[in-house]
A and B are shown apart, each in its own frame.
Chain A
Amino acid sequence: MTAEPSETPAPTAGATTADLTLDASVAAADVPPALVAGSLGQYLRASWLRVRSGDSGVLPVILGLVVVAVGFQIANSKFLSALNLVNLFEQSTVYMLLAMAEIFALLLGEIDLSVGLVMGLGSVVVAELVQPSGANWPWWAAIIVTLLACAAVGFIQGTLVARFRMPSFIVTLGGLLILEGVAIIVLGGSLVGIGNSQYGNENALYNIYWGSFSPVVGWVLLVVLVAAAGTGLWMRDARKRRRNLVAAPRSLTVMKIVLIAVAGAAVVAVCNVNRAHSGVIEGVPYVIPIVLIVLGVCTVLLQRTKFGRYVYAIGGSAEAAQRAGIRLTSIRTWSFVLAAVISGIAGVLFASWQVSLTTNIIKASNSYVLLAVAAAVIGGTSLFGGRGKTIHGVLGGLVIGGIYNGLYLLGVSSQWIDVVVAGVLLAAALIDTLSRRGAPDRT
């Protein structure tokens, strides 16, 4: 504790206490609470202090989820029914994927307005490639080629942004226009569908969205997931503690594992309820593990590799990154490639979901970018770069999916839904901006 007021960020008492969680200066100093807490109680206290000092993290989105769940259930008691919840999960996966794609751009301090149309183009390409009367490719080849095509689009946009230093919102604005035209050309002016169940490739594509695991497999997958995640988390924390590094308290790690197990069990249980009106439809839909795999890969990429570290560095200070010898051009370009590939995955799901694609649907896919940005920002990713995680995309996507689903259930017309989503985006952006108190003047 020094006399210099600038030395300690916030006035506090007892800065010499051993319990750093009581130290408001530490909270204001933005140290992740997990690292200063010696016990679960300290962790909760530190988190609360942090929220009060302005960095609310995932709290808004958790609150949002609660509000959505409670509010819509009150308005329409079918909201939390098994059938509707599974629908909600399935629809949200598209938003989640687009949000995760967008996060790669947002972390750099850029934006990708074309994610909706990359999804649209991807959906059209994959649908056309499996047509038996046309290309008649095996479904897995069609998907691979689609993703490669999307990667190429991302590479072009990324190069324009990274090498030519064109503003990203213009590049992706022009990009989405061009992609819309290309998608219409690929569509050939009419309609392409994958609804014919007698053609194996079409059927495979159809099942990606509409198919599900059997209940037993669902439970098995859950157990595997919890076991793997749990062991991984536990071992990592144990190793840190052994080497006397900064680590979270044991009880916190346990809580995390329990939370994953409980949430996972809830999802599997809900999905395993028979949701068909007649006959049997039950089990965890394929799309949920697909999204979780993408989530896992992206999280590892961003948090545990050099590439991810450099993405955060560029978003925080491109100048510092450059001085440190980081190649800005290649990091930025590859981020846009990743965003496009993930949008392409969303496109495959989208094609499967819509079953038949028309020009109007292509045009409508443009509006998904707003949902993607809203989902990312609601989830906690900052528009200004340098702050955010892929889990935010998943949580935010769930909130957006919930709002859409709930309003639709209530019979609200689509234009009013647009109004509501716009309001939500604005609110999220406001929270993001306000939480950046002390950010340098935006000139």
Chain B
Amino acid sequence: MTEVNEAPAGASRGGDGTEPLLRLRGIDKHFGPVQALYGVNLDLPAGQVTGLCGDNGAGKSVLTRTIAGAHQPDHGEIFFEGKPVHIRSTRDASALGIETVYQDLALANNLDIVENMFLGRERLSRGLLDEDSMELQAAETLSTLRVTTVRSIRQPVASLSGGQRQSVAVAKAVMWNSKLVLLDEPTAALGVVQTRSVLDLIKRLRDRGLAVMVISHNLNDVFEVADRIAVLYLGRMVAEGPASGFDLQSVVQYMTTGSTSGRPYESAGSANGEG
């Protein structure tokens, strides 16, 4: 476990010491007089699942949207594959290989699985939709992710169960040479069995070498899939490191009080070790 205010430099790197896929340093974001993020540092290494935890209002959504390009940070730097980048829009993020699956999944109920997976990025052949190649690729992606319970790939998305819809949304994110996938509360509305299949899916993403960040309230799910855990408290990153260094109680304490030392978190201004 690493408390950020005690961290020696380099401790938040990936386990084998290589440069993480995405690195945030000193990210600030405010909306009018409201400061949403204070000097947030975060590392998202490839091939690992990072669980982002925090209570309501801690800033998880803002941080996710900043990475996804929906917000621009006021201060701080973002490094992608070691190079500094400016993510000015969701298109920039997609171009880099960052895909986001939001909590409401953003699926059109009246379209089928193929149409949803290619929504906004359809393939054309001679000016018209190239249905065949889109269908082939969608089928291939689903089978690679071992999403097999779907009866027909031409089934309208409205008729899928919650877990299947989540799988389609994840497959949609993964299909585009993505390197980093952000999942916002993927299991929030799912039953036990469906949660299981989504968690397995997340592990498969990791096994393919993607970097995955999962926001979740459900600490059981987080501990099941996460290789790293990061905790936000009132806009500050109060803990970040390999999951082995946390347990349930310490995460909860970080989420609710900002530290495990038993006292309320006090920002002395220079508490963030690396910026």
Q: Which residues of A contact B (CB under 8 A)?
A: 2-4, 6-9, 20, 23, 25-26, 28-32, 35-36, 239-240, 243, 245-246, 300, 304-306, 309, 312-313, 315-317, 319-321, 323-326, 386-387
Contacts and interface: CB of A to CB of B under 8 A. Distances in A.
A305 B124 CA distance: 8
A160 B82 CA distance: 47
Given A7-B161, A31-B154, A321-B119, A305 B104 contact: no
B153 interface: yes
B135 A306 contact: no
B191 A6 contact: yes
Given A29-B159, A35-B154, A305-B129, A3 B109 contact: no
Given A7-B161, A316-B111, A320-B119, A309 B129 contact: yes
Contacts of B120: 321, 324-326
Contacts, number: 119
A6 B151 contact: no
Contact of A315 (B110, B115, B129): B110
A325 B151 contact: no
Contacts of A36: 151-152
Contacts of B104: 319
Contacts of B90: 325
A316 B110 CA distance: 5
B111 A2 contact: no
A243 B132 contact: yes
B156 interface: yes
B122 interface: yes
Say what secondary structure dominates the interface of chain B: loop
B42 to A, nearest CB: 23
Contacts of A9: 159, 161
B161 A300 contact: no
A381 to B, nearest CB: 12
B122 A306 contact: yes
A32 B151 CA distance: 12
A47 to B, nearest CB: 15
Nearest to A388: B110
B136 to A, nearest CB: 7
Contact of A35 (B136, B152, B193): B152
Which 7 A-B residue pairs are closest in the complex by CB-CB distance? A324-B120, A316-B110, A316-B108, A386-B110, A29-B159, A323-B106, A324-B119
Given A8-B161, A9-B161, A239-B132, 16 more contacts: A3-B193, A7-B149, A7-B161, A7-B194, A20-B152, A25-B151, A243-B132, A246-B152, A246-B154, A304-B128, A312-B110, A312-B111, A313-B115, A320-B108, A323-B106, A386-B109
Nearest to B120: A324
Contacts of B193: 2-4, 7
17 contacts: A4-B191, A6-B161, A6-B194, A7-B193, A7-B194, A8-B161, A20-B152, A28-B159, A243-B132, A246-B154, A304-B128, A306-B124, A309-B129, A312-B110, A317-B110, A321-B119, A324-B119
A216 to B, nearest CB: 34
B106 A324 contact: yes
Nearest to A28: B159
Contacts of B127: 305
Nearest to A32: B154
A36 B90 CA distance: 37
Nearest to B164: A7
Contacts of B152: 20, 26, 29, 31, 35-36, 246
Contacts of A306: 122, 124, 129
B158 interface: yes
A4 B153 CA distance: 21
B151 A243 contact: no
A324 B115 CA distance: 12
Nearest to B94: A325
A243 B131 CA distance: 12
A367 B159 CA distance: 38
B119 A326 contact: yes
A20 to B, nearest CB: 7
Interface centre among A2, A9, A320, A386 (most CB of B within 10 A): A320
A437 to B, nearest CB: 12
B106 A29 contact: no
A386 B108 CA distance: 9
A25 B150 CA distance: 12
A317 B154 contact: no
A224 B149 CA distance: 44
Contacts of A324: 106, 119-121
A317 B156 CA distance: 13
Contacts of A323: 102, 106
B208 interface: no
A30 B159 contact: yes
A237 to B, nearest CB: 11
A246 B116 CA distance: 17
B108 A313 contact: yes
Contacts of B132: 239-240, 243, 245
A30 to B, nearest CB: 5
Contacts of B153: 246
A408 B131 CA distance: 46
Contacts of B149: 2, 7
